[in-house]
């Protein structure tokens, strides 16, 4: 979808004019392209204990412990040792001096501890405080740079590799101001092909005919999965095109049909003998303020976005259809976190999706499976194209990156959460919103 402000900001004359007016200048983001190096330059490693240094070195990036002369493309600050509010000064002491040497699209990743694993109350307080500095730094960075916090449970350092790779790479272009918690995975990580982390897996994607779902199907296929693409019969042509473009299987099902979950489960069992990745992406909006909200608007949104998600989850969890090591990724929304005028139905459904993740994470972990959610912000699809022009323009700008995200940004995050190498991440909702102001 065209974004006129973005185009003006990226023309020579337009950029000069916006600078004079002190208006934000969104830049094209660095997005992952197969074959490209993980970072586009040196990584500065600060304060790192040996275990984290070993993990960062294993990423195959060019690691420095002093600022390289041409600046750095990424910074990893190990703040896991911060035990009190006084020791939090490690943040300004180590990060302030290097701020001016960050290259465009830089990644700043702070490593901390989950506060509940800290040894003392003051350490827990200090570790929680790092969330505030990380998020504020995200708001200060410019030129497509991001800031995120990885809380690594003691003993889970090797499981943090997947999160670090994601957050340092172009795959996380629209993810900023996030906290990712990594716990020790039940099984030690098997050797991983980082270019095809989903090799030999079967993935199901709902709502795969358009927008974010089509992009998820393509990215999962790029990463090695065989993809079953589900959408409504009304979208048959688009569904067939997406499935054909990735050698996937189109499955035409309206998720609100009473036998939808059983039909999908039967297909997965008969054609694939199970499934490794289930992505609940299908979703609709039917906006009206509560005073005008009729029963049909309410139930149609709840039916597709939440009830169908619950039913399909139940069906894939029955009889081990979701294989051991398998992952579910559900789609929430930042409006499910913050609420939004005219969306009591939609926000209820999307908050319910987070509730499903919260409710199932522990029991799935016990059975060697995982569930997480993504919460997209403003993503350029036909859903957002339907917004009134002024509202759309405002919504696009209200985030630290000053632009709407692309479907691929959500798809990359889903693929990362789905990958077996991300086994240490469970029960979380990761926002893909360019650090939107909403619900922050």
Q: Would you please indicate which residues are annotated as catalytic (active-site) residues?
A: 346
Shortest distance (Å) from residue 420 CB to ligand NAD: 24
Alpha carbon distance 31, 36 (integer Å): 10
Residue 433 CA: distances (Å) to CA of 146, 407, 409: 12, 11, 9
Cα(171)–Cα(411) distance, integer angstroms: 9
- Return the number of the residue (275 or 304) whose C-beta is nearest ligand NAD: 304
Query: Would you state the structure tokens that stand for residue 261, as one six-digit string?
Result: 């979950």
CB-wise, 213 or 250, nearer to ligand NAD?
213
Minimum CB separation of residue 30 from ligand NAD in Å reads 21
Closer Cβ to ligand NAD, 153 or 303, answer by number = 303
DSSP for 295-358?
Answer: HHHHHHHHIIIIIHHHHHHHHHHGGG-EEEEEEEEEE--HHHHH--TT-HHHHHHHHHHHHHHH
Which CB sits closer to ligand NAD, 138 or 250?
250
Residue with the closest Cβ to ligand NAD?
283
Asked if residue 184 lies in contact with residue 155, where contact means CB atoms within 8 angstroms, the answer is yes
Closest separation in Å from C-beta 408 to ligand NAD: 12
Residue 109: strand pairing partners: 76, 148
| Least Å from the CB of residue 277 to ligand NAD | 16
Query: Which two three-digit tokens encode residue 405?
Result: 């995200």
SS3 assignment, position 125: helix
Shortest spacing between CB 354 and ligand NAD, in angstroms: 12
Q: What is the DSSP string of 389-432?
A: HHHHHHHHHSBTTSS-B-HHHHHHHHHHHHSGGGTT--S-EEEE
Nearer to ligand NAD, 159 or 380 (CB): 380
User: Which positions lie near ligand NAD, rule CB under 6 A?
Assistant: 206-207, 209-213, 231-232, 235, 254-256, 281-284, 304, 331, 333, 376, 378-379, 381-384
Q: Rank residues 209 and 356 by Cβ distance to ligand NAD and give the closer one.
A: 209
Phi/psi at 192 (5° precision) = -120, 135
- Shortest reach from residue 349's CB to ligand NAD, in Å: 8
Letter string b/e over residues 350-360, b meaning 16 or more CB atoms within 10 A of that residue's CB: bbbbbebbeeb
325-347 exposure pattern, b = at least 16 Cβ within 10 A, e = fewer: bbbbbbbbbbbbbbbbebbbbbb
Query: In the numeric block, which tokens belong to residue 20?
Result: 């004079």
Determine the longest span between alpha carbons in the chain, in angstroms.
63
CB of 281 to ligand NAD, least distance (A): 5
Task: Pick the closest to residue 196 from 165, 163, 223 (CA basis).
Answer: 223
Which residue, 209 or 315, has its beta carbon nearer to ligand NAD? 209
Residue 293 · residue 335 · CB < 8 Å? no
CB of 304 to ligand NAD, least distance (A): 5
User: From the centroid of its chain, how far is CA 422?
Assistant: 12
Q: Is 43 helix (H, G, I), strand (E, B) or coil?
A: strand
């Amino acid at each position: 979808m065209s974004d006129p402000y973005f185009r003006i900001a990226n023309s020579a004359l337009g950029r000069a004019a916006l600078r004079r007016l002190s208006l934000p200048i969104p830049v094209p983001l660095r997005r992952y392209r197969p074959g490209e190096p993980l970072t586009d330059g040196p990584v500065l490693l600060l304060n790192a204990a040996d275990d984290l240094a070993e993990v960062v070195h294993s990423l195959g990036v060019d690691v420095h412990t002093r600022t390289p002369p041409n600046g750095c493309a990424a910074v990893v600050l190990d703040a896991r040792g911060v035990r009190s509010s006084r020791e939090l000064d490690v943040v300004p002491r180590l990060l302030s001096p290097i701020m001016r040497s960050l290259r465009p699209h830089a990644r700043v990743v702070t490593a901390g501890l989950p506060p509940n694993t800290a040894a003392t109350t003051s350490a827990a307080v200090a570790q929680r405080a790092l969330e505030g500095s990380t998020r504020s730094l995200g708001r200060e960075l410019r030129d497509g740079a991001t800031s995120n916090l990885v809380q690594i449970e003691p003993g889970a350092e090797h499981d943090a590799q997947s999160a670090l790779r994601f957050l340092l790479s172009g795959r996380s272009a629209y993810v900023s101001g996030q906290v990712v918690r990594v716990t020790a995975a039940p099984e030690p990580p098997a050797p991983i092909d980082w270019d095809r982390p989903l090799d030999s897996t079967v993935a199901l994607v709902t709502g795969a005919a358009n927008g974010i779902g089509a992009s998820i199907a393509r990215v999962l296929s790029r990463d090695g999965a065989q993809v079953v693409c589900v959408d409504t019969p009304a979208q048959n042509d688009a569904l067939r095109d997406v499935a054909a473009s990735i050698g996937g299987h189109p499955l035409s099902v309206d998720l609100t049909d009473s036998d939808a979950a059983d039909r999908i489960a039967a297909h997965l069992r008969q054609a694939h003998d199970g499934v490794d990745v289930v992505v609940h992406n299908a979703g609709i909006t039917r906006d009206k303020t509560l005073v005008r909200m009729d029963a049909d608007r309410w139930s149609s949104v709840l039916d597709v976005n939440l009830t169908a998600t619950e039913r399909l989850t139940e069906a894939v969890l029955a009889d081990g259809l979701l294989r051991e090591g398998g992952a579910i990724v559900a789609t929430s929304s930042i409006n499910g976190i913050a609420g939004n005028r005219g969306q009591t139905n939609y926000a209820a459904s999307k908050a319910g999706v987070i509730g499903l993740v919260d409710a199932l994470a522990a029991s799935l972990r016990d059975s060697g499976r995982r569930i997480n959610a993504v919460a997209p912000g403003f993503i350029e699809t036909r859903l957002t194209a339907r917004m009134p022009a002024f509202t759309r323009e405002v919504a696009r700008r209200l985030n630290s990156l000053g632009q709407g995200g692309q479907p691929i940004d959500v798809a990359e995050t889903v693929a990362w959460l789905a990958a077996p190498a991300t086994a240490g991440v469970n029960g979380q909702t990761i926002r893909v919103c360019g650090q939107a102001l909403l619900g922050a």
